[in-house]
Structure 1
Amino acid sequence: MRISRRALAAAATVAVLLPLSACGSGSDGSGSTDASGKVEGDITFQTWNLRANFKSYFEGVIADFEKKYPDTHVKWVDQPAEGYADKISADAAGGTLPDVVNVSPDLVAPLAKAGLALDLDKSAAQYKKEYLDGAWASHQIPGMTGTYAFPWYLNTGPLFYNKSLFKEAGLDASKPPTTYDELFADALQLAKKSDGKVATLANVPTVEDFGRYGVELMNKEGTAFAFNDAKGVELLTKYKELYDAKALDPQALTATPESSGKKFLTEAVAMNPGSALDLGNFKKQAPNLYKNIGITDQITSTGKVNMYVMGVMVNSRTKHTPASVAFAHFVTDAQNQMSFAKKVAIFPSTAGSLDDPYFTKEDGTDETRVRIAAAKSLKNAVNYTPVLFSEQMKTALRNEVAKALQGKESPKTALDNAVKACDTLLKQQG
């Protein structure tokens, strides 16, 4: 999983992805979907660039599991971050996919379609109630029945805004925008008052933004995209207005989450999504910005914020299904998720965990305030990025959005072309 593509500035925390793999798998399809037998056998657990920062944590989790189930042995393998998706594809093709694999929803989709991901609704349904509904649903694939990974850690974050830039534009810094109409109006005023020197936003709309705006992204069957509807065109038209007025940063067409963050840091952009981790950066790198930082909720038309989610998948061909399911559940149970959440700024996907005082009790610091607000919003959050939306599709959408903003195509034509390109790529996925 590449962190940059999970773009909220909260992505910094998602550097901890944990793809879990196991080598006890066989390509002969001899695995069993019955997880009710004795928990025993050797399985492999593969993480993704985690050993350096979390070695003692995972060694502790494995030791606790092996103590609980003395007839098991968990081999832990840590892979470098780069090329992880390619590695999963190669392992899947070669029959060497590990027993337990940490995946993001978009990575689990092709594995589920290939019959390599265990359907937890059949093999581990008794655990479903332990997780937030939205988190459990995040590893379901349109057009298929079943759930194909245990939900693991979640992330989301607020919108940060620069109070001094709002004041200079004659806006009430104590009342940041809470709706899209307010956002667009404030952005146009900020650009006008600063003679185009201050943009409000630094990123072009992504599929997640269309989702938050209330656009229907796909048909129910998962066979075609639908974000070129009237609401989708409306959003892109608004962004075109912002772009023309310099209320959207001119470099937004090529921006990354990192470059957008720097624009906000240097006070060239008035608003930026982020996470509790960013506050420490502001304090260190931009004390003047930190002094004027405002914190508000993500803007949505749906009432539900976006959730970034990681999962733990069981290889359907593992030779040790009971042990693999037990271990995947153990890593993602409430106790271990809570422990992990206190080591890095992520949030547990287990039901009730977000009611812990760690996520509800104020202590007067901005960091805690952000953590509490994020935890509250996650209770009914959704992952807006469709699980079938590949990197190629993201590129296709981005290219068409750029053409619309530059006036090379109308917003309607651009989205029609993007949907057409994404539908073609979808068919190629099989």
Structure 2
Amino acid sequence: MSSSRGLRLVCAVAVIGALTSACGLGGSSDDGNEPAGAAKGPLKGTVTFETLQLKPTFTKYVNGVIDAFEKKNPGVNVKWVDIPFQGAQEKLTADAAAGTLPDVVNLNPQFAQALEAKGQFIDMDTAASDVKADYIPGAWQAFTVPGRSGSYGIPWYLTSEVTMYNKSLFKKAGLDPAKPPASFDELFADGGALSKAGKGSFYGAHPALENRFITDLAKQGVPLLDKDGRKWTFNTPEAAAYLAKLVDAYKKGVYPKDSLTQDHSKETEAYQAGRVGLFPSGPNFLTIIKQNAPKIAEQTAVGPQITGESGATNMSVMGLLVPKTSKNRNAAVAFASYMADSENQLAFSKIVTVLPSVTKALKDPYFTDAGDGSVEAQARRISAQQIAKGQNLVPVQYDARVTQAVVGKVQLALQGKLTPQKALDQAVDAANAITAG
């Protein structure tokens, strides 16, 4: 797998395990949702399953799942459609307007939120009520819509950030290579020590503002939205105090000077080049580092996700959603449920650096034991421990437009052009204008 593909895709898994009992649907209701309950008779019809840029790398895996499902359900034909990652949201929006969405679509909450808010997907609280209890609550809740009842996706697979760090650079900075930072204050302190030791040759960390800023506020208990989920509220004194720490860290050289406008891909490159000593990110990047920078990989160790006093941890969620326009909802929900059942998710996780969303699978020794003692095994155990109580802390309304507006104001604060409080006030105003529009 190339590093660029690894930034957004996971590897394929072979299909194992028996088919779980299908989540059936009854007759249609006026709002497009249907009551839970076993489907009457065998499943029938064609199910179109849409994924994001999985062909050709993952053809064997997806076809294996489809073949196994169809063998158990000979009346169902699953047609797999794969679309490019770039432009996917625009295509889905156009398909929704035309009434041509696939029967099962693989999306994350941020991609799905605009269509969820318009009532495009069936409520899995009702349609898949018989399997809801199998899933991590935080993962299931990721597909809820503020102000509306129900949840609109079956969680498929998850990732939970860990803290990767360069042991060699830790030693040069006089830091204990067996004690990575676990809190934001420790992150700033260790980052400062690293940058001081680096003297411009390496730095403590990379801000990765687009990926991290709003999540880090949530980890520290800052209320991002009001109770109705309609107005942004993250311009609190606590948030301003945190931003002030970011400003101070930037002034003291914890971050490279050119990093303020750089995204996560540049952060990855910086770590692989030995330019930063700390790299909070998904464990899947361990594979990418090993492929692209084996010498850095040899010096890489892992610690827990950086978090605040509450211990809240964030997770990223990918799910399977069924549009109301599906003509074969019984089969569509059954297929989505099968793809995301415990046994198949466990098999998936043993090949890919992702986590299952089913609680039972997380209790497997693969996630609880030390394994072979490798850094990958350590990351797997750490992230699995975190994920059991993890949440998707980033609201679905925090889309690309809101992100750009907020990060722009944060960048101005880091450059000293706005005070932290003024930057957050303006960010909230801009975010609310976008969301209201």
- TM-based fold match above 0.5: yes
Secondary structure of the structure 2 residue equivalent to 1:336: helix
Q: Could you report, residue by residue, the CA deviation over 1:109-167 in whole angstroms, capped at 9, with x for unpaired residues?
A: 22222121101112221210111111111111111111001011101231111222222
Pairing partner for 1:88 from 68, 89, 92: 92
Matches within 5 A, 1:168-207: 168-203=172-207, 204=209, 205-207=212-214
Matches within 5 A, 1:371-410: 371-410=380-419
Q: Distance in 2 between matches of 1:390 and 1:275?
A: 20
Pairing partner for 1:245 from 241, 244, 252: 252
Letter in 2 for 1:81: F
Q: Could you report, residue by residue, the CA deviation over 1:241-277 in whole angstroms, capped at 9, with x for unpaired residues?
A: 0111111221221212121112112222110123444
Matches within 5 A, 1:205-224: 205-224=212-231
Identity %: 37
* 2:115–2:121 CA contact under 8 A, matched in 1: yes
Letter in 1 for 2:129: A
Moved more, 371-380 or 177-186: 177-186
Q: Name structure 1 gaps, 5 residues minimum.
A: 17-28
* 2:220–2:307 CA contact under 8 A, matched in 1: yes
Letter in 1 for 2:402: M
Pairing partner for 2:311 from 303, 307, 311: 303
Q: CA deviation at 1:392?
A: 0.3
Matches within 5 A, 1:126-165: 126-165=130-169
Secondary structure of the structure 1 residue equivalent to 2:70: helix
Residues 15, 304 of structure 1: alpha-carbon distance in 2 compared, 3 angstrom cutoff: farther
- Name the TM-score, length of structure 2 as normaliser: 0.88
Q: Distance in 1 between matches of 2:272 and 2:347?
A: 31
Q: CA deviation at 1:71?
A: 2.0
- Name the TM-score, length of structure 1 as normaliser: 0.89
Q: CA deviation at 1:237?
A: 0.5
Residues 173, 43 of structure 1: alpha-carbon distance in 2 compared, 3 angstrom cutoff: closer
Q: Distance in 1 between matches of 2:55 and 2:36?
A: 29
1:26 alignment partner in structure 2: none
Letter in 1 for 2:173: A
Pairing partner for 1:70 from 55, 74, 77: 74
Q: CA deviation at 1:231?
A: 1.5
Q: CA deviation at 1:297?
A: 1.0
Q: CA deviation at 1:235?
A: 1.2
Count of equivalent residues: 410
Secondary structure of the structure 1 residue equivalent to 2:91: helix
Secondary structure of the structure 1 residue equivalent to 2:425: helix
Residues 30, 406 of structure 1: alpha-carbon distance in 2 compared, 3 angstrom cutoff: closer
2:25 alignment partner in structure 1: none
Moved more, 180-189 or 257-266: 180-189
The answer to whether the aligner puts 1:416 opposite 2:420 as a matched pair is: no
Q: CA deviation at 1:31?
A: 5.6
Q: Distance in 2 between matches of 1:156 and 1:258?
A: 18
Secondary structure of the structure 1 residue equivalent to 2:56: helix
Secondary structure of the structure 1 residue equivalent to 2:337: helix
Secondary structure of the structure 1 residue equivalent to 2:345: helix
Q: CA deviation at 1:30?
A: 9.6
Q: CA deviation at 1:32?
A: 5.8
Q: Distance in 2 between matches of 1:170 and 1:31?
A: 62
Q: Name structure 2 gaps, 5 residues minimum.
A: 13-29
Pairing partner for 1:120 from 111, 124, 129: 124
Matches within 5 A, 1:1-12: 11-12=7-8
Pairing partner for 1:324 from 319, 323, 332: 332
Residues 199, 10 of structure 1: alpha-carbon distance in 2 compared, 3 angstrom cutoff: farther
* 1:32–1:321 CA contact under 8 A, matched in 2: no
Q: CA deviation at 1:343?
A: 3.2
Secondary structure of the structure 2 residue equivalent to 1:117: coil
Residues 282, 92 of structure 1: alpha-carbon distance in 2 compared, 3 angstrom cutoff: closer
1:20 alignment partner in structure 2: none
Q: Distance in 1 between matches of 2:227 and 2:32?
A: 31
Letter in 2 for 1:146: G
Q: Could you report, residue by residue, the CA deviation over 1:179-198 in whole angstroms, capped at 9, with x for unpaired residues?
A: 22222222223333444543
| Alignment RMSD | 2.3
Q: Distance in 1 between matches of 2:436 and 2:288?
A: 43
Secondary structure of the structure 2 residue equivalent to 1:58: helix
Residues 331, 288 of structure 1: alpha-carbon distance in 2 compared, 3 angstrom cutoff: closer
* 1:33–1:316 CA contact under 8 A, matched in 2: no
Letter in 2 for 1:353: A
Q: Distance in 1 between matches of 2:299 and 2:202?
A: 16
Secondary structure of the structure 2 residue equivalent to 1:273: strand
Q: Distance in 1 between matches of 2:327 and 2:132?
A: 23
The answer to whether the aligner puts 1:53 opposite 2:57 as a matched pair is: yes
Q: Distance in 2 between matches of 1:288 and 1:324?
A: 46
Residues 291, 420 of structure 1: alpha-carbon distance in 2 compared, 3 angstrom cutoff: same
Q: Distance in 1 between matches of 2:348 and 2:180?
A: 33
Q: Distance in 1 between matches of 2:85 and 2:293?
A: 29
Secondary structure of the structure 2 residue equivalent to 1:152: strand
Q: Distance in 2 between matches of 1:194 and 1:63?
A: 54
Q: CA deviation at 1:74?
A: 1.5
Matches within 5 A, 1:348-359: 348-359=356-367
